[in-house]
Amino acid sequence: MPRLAKNRISVYLIKSEFHDAESIIDKTDELQEVEIGPGLKLYYGDSHIYRPRWVGNFFGDDVPDEANIFNASSKAILIAEVEIGRATRSFCIPFGQGRHLMQSGVWEECFGLKVTLNTIDPDYLRSIEKTNMSSVPKHANEQISRDGAAADFGIDIEQDLVRAVTGRSKEETFDLMITGKDSLHVSVPVNLNNIKEFLETCFHKSKSNEYKTNFGWIDQISEIRDPQLIETLNSELLGRIVRGDFNRTWMAVPQVIEWDDVSGFKYRDSKKDPEEGDIGLPAFLESLSEEEREKISIDLLKKKKVHCFSASADHILHRWSAYNCVYCEVDLQGNTYLLNNAKWYQIDADFAAEVNAEYERLRDAGSAVSLPECKQEKENDYNIRIAAEEDMCCMDRDNISYGGGYSKIEFCDLLTRDKQLIHVKKYGGSSVLSHLFSQGLVSAEIFLSAADFREKLNEKLEGDYKLVDAAVKPNPAEYEVVYAVISNSESDLELPFFSKVSLRNAKRRLEAFGYSVALQKIQAIEAEEELDESQN
């Protein structure tokens, strides 16, 4: 019997609540329907022949009309109903541009990824698409020239959200190379006669827990793209706002900014409105009209802007949607979800509990140094004042040029004679605080490993702050890295979840070097108003 020819196909598993074509495919009334077998229906649209846009854009009228240069578009999608146990599940296999015929949100997320992880050899990966959730989310699609393990891609198992994987299959059913994300992409010897058997195999592979042996960490963070779940979570967010429940819901600056050039924030681009020293959900709600507060919605949050004004020039430095500035944590049906920079994520419950417990231990432990309140000053002004009042060395902005391209490294903001390296930052969103933790880690590591960096540092130090011998590697056990966060909240310091993860990673690396690590809250207070002596 001759072997079947291979076909390159993409497979989507449809969610169990969608059964008929009208709920799966968009505009079925504009498509042709053909039943090609039991439980197999093909939907297709008319193909259109057209001249590519580049012909006219590039060549103008120099290409004659009779030149036979055309594109032809085709789009079709096969819906296969497969009996699995006592249930019937639907799968979609698009052809040509057929995937655009599907309605959004009808397919199971990560179906193809789970099939792939349960099928590939963990040492034979070729490509990984990932998003790192540290200081600034970074998207990357990395490929290697030969088979390798996840470690060869530099995966951070606590901060990388894996979206797609390509690797070598260890099972004959899936042939050699297999790619999985929401959909499954394979070249396999299947056709209309054996497609149902293949789809049933894919389904069982997607439900297997075999992947947890080598890829269990992949479940720790996942982005929510299900429109119905997003709607449910957004409804919970709106309910909290209406009730005034801000315990696990707040606003924060969503990106790293130069605070020293910030004069303040406004929720409307109006000269009449006073500037705020920081952003906050209660103040934002106060800026809305009574009607807007009564009809608060996600669309309104996306429409409303937060304006960040420059201190050195009369213009807006940054402008964000209010929704981008909102942070929210929700526990729902045994799962933990969080809204960060306008996206919802699901966090594995055990992972969340582990991170939160370690954070609380660090927060409650405190530090040997106690930092005074911040009187609504700029970071640099605060550091200068505290250095003078508390007999510390202020190194804020006193950067050291080091390394290729003369990168500028800030050793710390405040240095004590007891060898505390204090890094100060105003409270902000995940990217702001994760950047703080990264800065502390980088400077401490270079201080330990590079004698030439220590020599440059010593040139900036005076008196008994100077190192006795910059050439001698310091003993990290004598130093404490202190992360100090300025916050106007009266409650215990609470950080966004991804910042807690970044802090935990920085803490573990610093402790591996031999440093002690501490976290401290600096209470921000309103500056005391001076009495007008003329009224005395």
Quick: pLDDT tens for 480-526.
999 999 998 888 998 988 889 999 999 999 999 999 999 999 999 87
Is 109 a member of any domain? yes
Residues 6+ apart with CB under 8 A from 107: 12, 13, 14, 15, 92, 182, 183
Among residues 198, 219, 240, the one where a domain terminates is 219
Residues 395 and 321 in one domain: no
Is 535 a member of any domain? no
Contact 346, 355 (CB under 8 A): no
pLDDT of residue 136: 56
Is 534 a member of any domain? no
Contact 338, 330 (CB under 8 A): yes
Classify the C-alpha dihedral 145-150-155-160 as positive or negative. positive
Judged by average pLDDT, the poorest of 120-134, 188-202, 350-364, 412-426 is: 120-134
* Statement: residue 432 has pLDDT above 70: yes
Among residues 166, 191, 219, the one where a domain terminates is 219
Residues 185 and 308 in one domain: no
| Mean pLDDT computed over 363-372 | 91
Is 531 a member of any domain? no
| Mean pLDDT computed over 324-340 | 90
Residues 6+ apart with CB under 8 A from 532: none
* Statement: residue 391 has pLDDT above 80: yes
What's the pLDDT band for 134 if we cut at 50, 70, 90?
Answer: low
Estimate to the nearest angstrom the gap between the alpha carbon of 252 and the chain centroid: 15
Is 528 a member of any domain? no
pLDDT of residue 285: 95
What's the pLDDT band for 65 if we cut at 50, 70, 90?
Answer: confident
For the chain, what percent of residues have pLDDT higher than 90?
Answer: 59
- The two three-digit tokens of residue 491, written as one number: 């409650």
Query: Domain count of the chain?
Result: 3
Residues 184 and 108 in one domain: yes
Residues 395 and 369 in one domain: yes
Is 1 a member of any domain? no
For the chain, what percent of residues have pLDDT higher than 70?
Answer: 96
Q: Residue 461: which domain range?
A: 351-523
* Statement: residue 246 has pLDDT above 80: yes
Residues 299 and 389 in one domain: no
DSSP for residue 448: H
Of 179, 183, 137, 142, nearest in space to 160 by CA: 137
Residues 207 and 246 in one domain: no
pLDDT of residue 107: 93
pLDDT of residue 533: 36
DSSP for residue 47: -
Residues 276 and 321 in one domain: yes
* Statement: residue 137 has pLDDT above 70: no
Residues 259 and 369 in one domain: no
Among residues 219, 243, 271, the one where a domain terminates is 219
Residues 317 and 214 in one domain: no
pLDDT of residue 25: 93
pLDDT of residue 535: 35
DSSP for residue 382: H
What's the pLDDT band for 260 if we cut at 50, 70, 90?
Answer: confident
DSSP for residue 172: G
pLDDT of residue 4: 79
Residues 6+ apart with CB under 8 A from 273: 266, 267, 287
pLDDT of residue 531: 34
pLDDT tens, residue by residue, 183-210: 999 999 999 999 999 999 999 999 999 9
* Statement: residue 59 has pLDDT above 90: no
Between 326 and 406, name the one with better pLDDT.
326
Residues 264 and 395 in one domain: no
pLDDT of residue 278: 87
pLDDT tens, residue by residue, 85-106: 999 999 999 998 898 899 888 9
Between 457 and 401, name the one with better pLDDT.
457
Q: What are phi and psi of 468, to 5 degrees?
A: -65, -45
Contact 306, 325 (CB under 8 A): yes
Is 530 a member of any domain? no
Helix, strand, coil % (nearest 5) of the chain?
A: 35, 30, 35
The Cα–Cα gap between 76 and 88 comes to 22
Residues 420 and 469 in one domain: yes
Residues 371 and 490 in one domain: yes
Secondary structure E strands in 56-102 = 71-73, 75-84, 87-96
Burial (CB count within 10 angstroms: exposed 0-12, middle 13-18, buried 19+), residue 219: middle
pLDDT of residue 536: 32
What's the pLDDT band for 50 if we cut at 50, 70, 90?
Answer: confident
Between 51 and 215, name the one with better pLDDT.
215
Is 29 a member of any domain? yes
* Statement: residue 73 has pLDDT above 70: yes
